[in-house]
Amino acid sequence: MTPEPTDFVETQYATFCAPPNELVLKSGARLGPITLAYETYGNLNEDKSNAIMVYHTLTSDAHAAGWHKDAKKPGWWDPMIGPGKAFDTDKYFVICSNVIGSCMGSTGPASINPKTNKRYGLSFPVVTIEDMVLTQKLLLDHLGIPRLLCAAGGSMGGLQALEWAVTYPQAVRSVICIAANTRHSAQQIALHEVSRQAIMSDPDWQGGDYYGKSVPARGLAVSRMIGHITYMSEKSMEEKFGRKLISKEKLGYDFTHDFEVENYLKYRSDSFVQRFDANSYLYLSKALDYFDLAEDGKLVDAFAPATASFLIVSFTSDWLYPSYQSKQIVKALKANDIDVSDIEINSSYGHDAFLVEVEGQSNLITHFLNRIRKAAHVGAG
């Protein structure tokens, strides 16, 4: 895959909430200034009605599509965003913003606190999905866009899309929520807690104050390994690795790596450690665990303010965000007489299916967006 000259994109930055106008977070803490890294693809039409915001996953970033200069691969959702693709940039203006708390260009624990001129570390306030969406709304206001044609995302991105739908119903016409839920189950929280403990029990973590010193690489790597296991299914791991050995004829009978799956986890976690901040992993995983759309009562009531049309997608083998959780969303939306389509796609890829099953999702998203666009009489950008 080689990029065309028109495929190159650059990350942009917007800064808001400079003191004394800091943002009051859900926890009550104040944070400012806040910078968000974001990218846009396609053109905004004249009446600013063709904007789609896509929300990224826990460890992803604003670079959803196209190519950065000298990059080896395109953005994380490139198969879905671009001319003629599901999020067709000939028709739509697509925005992707990095969330607060992340380390991929937006303000997070690895950022410099202007008050102390030191990195925030654990003095960074705990952020929530609600806070992420709040800052993304500030970005949308900054771009002068009154209403999204669609809010779309998978996994953590799906949670943000749902939160947007109930917090800013007037600012969104449709929602695409993929492999997500409205609250983390005990199992999901438990898996995250193991990941966090892996980081925090690394001696290099130093209470989060490791910047400029050696980073808690081992802890972060273990937490990423756990992540990768949860993103796959038993079947997809079996198909990909089975019990294949790595360049060995027989078992070593020691504690070096024997199996390909061991090597894979090491390779993926080592590359992750190079690009991701351990504290950000703590903050963002906590944000996911704290999220509960129905924290004030019933899920049906939580969706009452929503007015958008919904497309809810889940995958048969996804055990991290199982289909029944998506069905609960559908049920609550139906109870509110909200327009909702849903599908459970048959896939063996587990949670990863969200990024892997391109054909089926492209088909669905293309037609779903066409319907929304036609109903709203939205012109191309």
Partner 1 sequence: MSEQDKNKEAAPATGRSPQLRFDHKVIMGLIEPNSKVLDLGCGDGTLLSRLIQEKGCHGTGIEIDEKAIYQCVAKGLTVSHGDIDSGLADYSNKRFDYVILHESLQQVLNPRRVILESLRVGKKVIVGIPNFCHSWARLQIFFWGRVPVTKELPYQWYDTPNLRFLSLKDFRYFCRGEKIKILKEVGIVGNRAVRFRRNLFSNVGIYLLEK
Contacts with partner 1 by CB under 8 A lie at 309, 311, 327, 330-331, 334-335, 337, 339-346, 360, 363-364, 367-368, 370-371, 374
Per-residue exposure over 210-223, b if at least 16 CB sit within 10 Å of its own CB, e if not = bbeeebbbbbbbbb
12/37 Cα distance (integer angstroms): 6
The CB-of-311 to partner 1 minimum distance in angstroms stands at: 8
**Rounded least distance, CB 4 to partner 1, Å:** 29
Determine whether 56 is an active site residue: no
CA distances from 343 to 69, 78, 112, 356 (A): 37, 22, 44, 16
Angstrom distance (rounded) from CA 258 to CA 275: 27
Element housing 165 (H / E): helix 156-167
155 is catalytic: yes
Tell me which of 111, 155, 236, 348 is the catalytic residue: 155
User: Which is closer to partner 1, CB of 30 or CB of 331?
Assistant: 331
- Reply yes or no on whether 285 is catalytic: no
C-alpha to C-alpha distance for 380 and 378, rounded to whole angstroms: 7
Residue for token digits 């587990």?
A: 350
3-class SS of residue 228:
helix
Within 10 Å of residue 339's Cβ, how many Cβ atoms?
15
Using a 10 angstrom Cβ sphere, with 0-12 exposed, 13-18 middle and 19 or more buried, the burial of residue 244 is exposed
The alpha carbon torsion through 335, 336, 341, 343 (nearest 10 deg) reads -40
The helix (H) or strand (E) run that includes residue 198 is helix 186-200
The DSSP code for 114 is: T
Which ranges of 93-128 does DSSP label H, i.e. alpha helix?
none
C-beta of 342: minimal distance to partner 1 in Å? Answer: 5
Q: State which residue, 134 or 338, has the beta carbon closest to partner 1.
A: 338
Comparison of 24 and 375: residue with beta carbon closer to partner 1 = 375
Q: What span, in angstroms and rounded, lies between the C-alpha atoms of 332 and 227?
A: 29
Nearer to partner 1, 163 or 342 (CB): 342
User: Within 13 Å and on the Cβ side, how many CA atoms surround 331?
Assistant: 10
d(CA 184, CA 287): 10
Nearer residue to partner 1 within complex by CB, 134 or 152: 152
Cβ proximity to partner 1: between 214 and 363 the closer is 363
70 or 359, CB closer to partner 1? 359
Q: Which listed residue (61, 318, 342, 352) is catalytic?
A: 318
Cβ nearer to partner 1, comparing 142 with 367: 367
Strand locations in 165-308 (E): 174-178
* Of 216, 227, 234, residue with least CA distance to 156: 227
Q: Which residues are part of the catalytic machinery?
A: 155, 318, 351
